[in-house]
Chain A
Amino acid sequence: MATPLLQPTDRGLWCADGDFFIDPWRPVDRAVITHGHSDHARPGHGAYLTTDAALPVIRRRLGALQADTLPYGRTVTMGGVTVSFHPAGHVPGSAQVRVERGGEVWVVTGDYKTTPDRLSEPWEPVACNTLVTECTFGLPVFAWEDEAAIAAQINGWWAQAADEGRVAMLGVYALGKAQRVMTLLDPDIGPILTHGAVEEMTAILRAQGYALPATTRVTPDLPKAALARALVLAPPSALGSAWARRFGAVTDGYASGWMRLRGVRRRRAADRGFVLSDHADWPGLNAAVRATGATRVLATHGYTAAFSRWLAEQGYETGVVATAWEGEALDRAPDPSDAVTE
């Protein structure tokens, strides 16, 4: 049997023929990067290949680096292996990686979401023989409501807080989730304020041409009047911190797929939890597997054991690939791998 097109190593998923790694977590010579989240784009590689749209964020995060980019759909050949990027619908610029050798096709999803939002390039199914899929939310309890319904919940909460003279503070991941939430907000309610970490990512995406509403960065000299009727977008770690105390009366919330679970929602002890994820839900994962026509599915990150057993029962050839990818972080909340799930 020929060497598999991709194989797991302790540095990441490796393509021997093309001599590159996909989202490796230890330094390698050549890295193919799906998107700018820190569990996928790490420092120290010799050369980076990513999408045109993902590079600016990666550069900001990792500093000077040797990088090439491709637009979605364009192929490049490395050692007889054809490589291309395809939209993953996860965050702006995020990609799935298609790898082909002599007619055999593998697709590595990276992080992905099958339902469209108003910002990310929408996910496209890519036909393949073997699909390497994340399954952060690979249990049937995870099923997302329409984005419009969640938008109405967030705006309703914000408007009520504004009417009561309280600042609404939403904990969101700085790259992707924060900007997606911005596209859902009703600017008539009040001003959108941002934590520095959020503003930094927002400015980069805005400069790339993504349509984002006006935001104001929170700085020490921001006048009190600017807080009136405001909604603040901040990384989850900032909620309840010394930084958050400057806002006076606050109602806080989180936007994450984990908010689907009441236990997690209550443990965060926030006022509200909005179920908004940039990962595929259970129906999405299943639809994606079907749409690619893959006969072999390798699950990575998340509820891998359950999802691969489920697919095996549907007749797929299955396996589990260990990676250091982290899925949707709720920092300081117990990682699902730490939860009592067995």
Chain B
Amino acid sequence: MKRFADLYARLDETTSTSRKVAALADYFRDAPDQDRVWTIALLSGRRPKRTVTATRLAEWAAARAGIPMWLFTDSYAATGDLAETIALILPPGPGGDDRGLSDWIDTVRALAVADDAGKQAGVQAAWDVLADRERMLFNKLLTGGLRVGVSQKLMTRALAQATGLAEADLAHRLMGDWDPARATWAGLVLAPDPGADLSRPYPFALAYQLDDPPESLGDPADWATEWKWDGIRGQIVLRGGDWHLWSRGEEVMTDRFPEFARLADYLPPGTVIDGEVLAWDRAADAPQPFAALQPRIGRKSVPKKLLADAPARMLAYDLLEWGGQDIRARPFADRRAALEAAVAALPPAAPMGLSPLVTAPDWAGIAAARDQSRDRGAEGLMLKRHASPYGVGRKRGDWWKWKVDPFTVDAVMVYAQAGHGRRATLYTDFTFAVWDDSGGLVPFAKAYSGLTDAEFAEITAWVRKNTTDRFGPVRAVRPEMVFELAFEGIQHSPRHKSGIALRFPRMVRWRRDKPAAEADRLETLRALLAKG
């Protein structure tokens, strides 16, 4: 575990991307095979399940440290992290144990089937041999909470540096359904069987938001313009007579969208299409708002009524594999032509259409189209260079998203709650209200991001001095602070007292200049409903 703890410390102590990658690459060069596999798993969100409850762990730790439970609770409140609190209060650990990460994960997994006394004995035996920082990681493995601040993309880059394999290949290999308990370094990374996983999607190409004027991109004739639909980005993988639908978050959504099964009847095996899954309004032949799709995301299977109310359709953006060939390196214009041909062959009833291109002679025309995005149910535009390949992950230069400006509202903070992890000692989660017709404040949105740590620290001090009531971890505060919230959409919501629900609300500015009385009114938000 020492080696993994060293890696964790190196990653933790720098904010520099290149240093994180260098630390990981060093580790991937010479750590034991099975430890490397588990490290890949942990860094791609494949954590072992929780085997011990937080409550029991806290009790055992307090007993081991010889302190009463209330003092443990006070200590936990100060650190904000259970695994860390335990590591810090136990008597100093000896360290020097030479079992590696995978051995310890085996230990953790074995505890899952032990009885309570067995779990306690196993956990204490581990605490007795591990050094302080190794203990913290062990505790996080036990509670299923180990997160490492490195994106999968950086991990893949480090793996590429360590192995000499191409980053894009590795990204592809590491996608899909694999089990770190059974995978081997050789099988997973070095010599994967190309037929082993017919369901495997390609890494999604992502784009940055265009902040500069579009003229900065040069000649508009070099660019293809598409609508950026407001649904779920997905990849349909048709291979070997089977089909799979993947989300951008590498989640299999196949069972949730059975209507796409028919695509296998019309498209040949060896086809992979990137597109947007939308709830379709058949009468209007247009996408329904995102809210209509929402009930389909949360469930594993779909009731008939939902299939009828919110039938799914994919608007296709890009063709990644055709005739079993990976064509991602070909220019977008070529892929688009092939995609158009493939989709044109589909019967009208097929659950897939082409996402249309926006054509305009100049940037002014493209900007005018962007202004119509909301009316069409789109979030804005995508700009793709005709010559561009289908990249891996987020890249600058060839693809840009050019979203419409968000809606904004000035709202009053009415409740505050402490954040988690890094921000556990700060109040960061706020509930906001606007004025209703009767002159009262009606809560309508929660937001927890968008301010700096320094601002959160200042607000935390204010919250403590201006608390009017407490409900568990939530504090009601004097309705005095005004914040500008941005959001992407607004919907009717009978479930909320305000009657509305926002999409992606976040704080953009602390309006120190604005008294609460000048915050926005509910009717202003209602007026946006037609657009949102």
Contact = CB atoms under 8 A, between A and B. Distances in A.
A91 B84 CA distance: 30
Interface string A196-214: 0000000000000000000
A188 interface: no
A91 to B, nearest CB: 25
Contacts of A313: 68
A332 interface: yes
B457 A139 contact: no
A324 interface: no
B74 interface: yes
A271 B15 contact: yes
B147 to A, nearest CB: 12
Contacts of A139: 71, 74-75, 78
| Residue among B74, B80, B453 with the highest chain A CB neighbour number at 10 A | B74
Interface in A323-342: 332-336, 338-342
Contacts of A340: 77, 80, 418, 424-427, 460
B324 interface: no
Interface string B8-28: 000011110000000000000
A262 interface: yes
B457 A263 contact: no
Nearest to A336: B78
Contacts of A260: 88
A11 B457 CA distance: 29
Give chain A's interface residue range (CB within 8 Å of chain B): 20 to 34
Nearest to B473: A340
A338 B457 contact: yes
Contacts of B70: 309
A141 interface: yes
Interface string A112-128: 00000000000000000
A267 B78 contact: no
A262 B425 contact: no
A140 interface: yes
B81 to A, nearest CB: 7
A141 B78 contact: yes
A306 B425 contact: no
Give chain B's interface residue range (CB within 8 Å of chain A): 35 or more
A193 B74 CA distance: 40
Contact of B78 (A261, A271, A333): A261
Nearest to B136: A262
A340 B429 CA distance: 13
Given A140-B75, A141-B89, A263 B454 contact: no
| Residue among A142, A262, A309, A310 with the highest chain B CB neighbour number at 10 A | A262
A40 B432 CA distance: 42
A143 interface: yes
Nearest to B453: A267
A309 B422 CA distance: 28
Given A260-B88, A262-B84, A263-B80, A334 B74 contact: no
A316 interface: no
A334 B89 CA distance: 22
Given A141-B79, A339-B78, A341-B77, A334 B426 contact: yes
Contact of B457 (A142, A143, A333): A333
B92 interface: yes
Contacts of A338: 457, 460-461, 464
Interface string B368-407: 0000000000000000000000000000000000000000
Nearest to A306: B74
Contacts, number: 90
B222 to A, nearest CB: 38
Nearest to A262: B84
A142 B14 CA distance: 23
Contacts of B68: 310, 313
A269 interface: yes
B235 to A, nearest CB: 35
Interface in B331-390: none
Interface string B55-83: 00000000001011011001101111100
A334 B427 contact: no
A263 B81 contact: yes
A101 interface: no
A262 B81 contact: yes
Given A141-B85, A340-B418, A342-B77, A310 B71 contact: yes
B118 interface: no
Contacts of B295: none
Contacts of B78: 139, 141, 261, 303, 336, 339, 341
Contact of A263 (B13, B422, B427, B464): B422
A313 B69 CA distance: 13
B422 A271 contact: no
A272 interface: yes
A316 B208 CA distance: 62
A246 interface: no
A336 B67 CA distance: 21
A267 B460 CA distance: 14
A266 interface: yes
Given A141-B88, A267-B425, A306-B71, 16 more contacts: A139-B71, A139-B75, A262-B79, A263-B424, A263-B425, A266-B422, A267-B453, A309-B70, A334-B426, A334-B460, A338-B464, A339-B78, A339-B425, A339-B426, A340-B77, A340-B426
Interface of B: 12-15, 65, 67-68, 70-71, 74-75, 77-81, 84-85, 88-89, 92, 418, 421-427, 453-454, 457, 460-461, 464
Interface of A: 139-143, 260-264, 266-267, 269, 271-273, 303, 306, 309-310, 313, 332-336, 338-342
7 contacts: A143-B92, A261-B78, A263-B423, A263-B425, A267-B423, A271-B13, A332-B454
Please name the 4 residue pairs, one residue from A and one from B, whose CB atoms are nearest each other, closest first: A339-B425, A141-B88, A340-B418, A334-B457
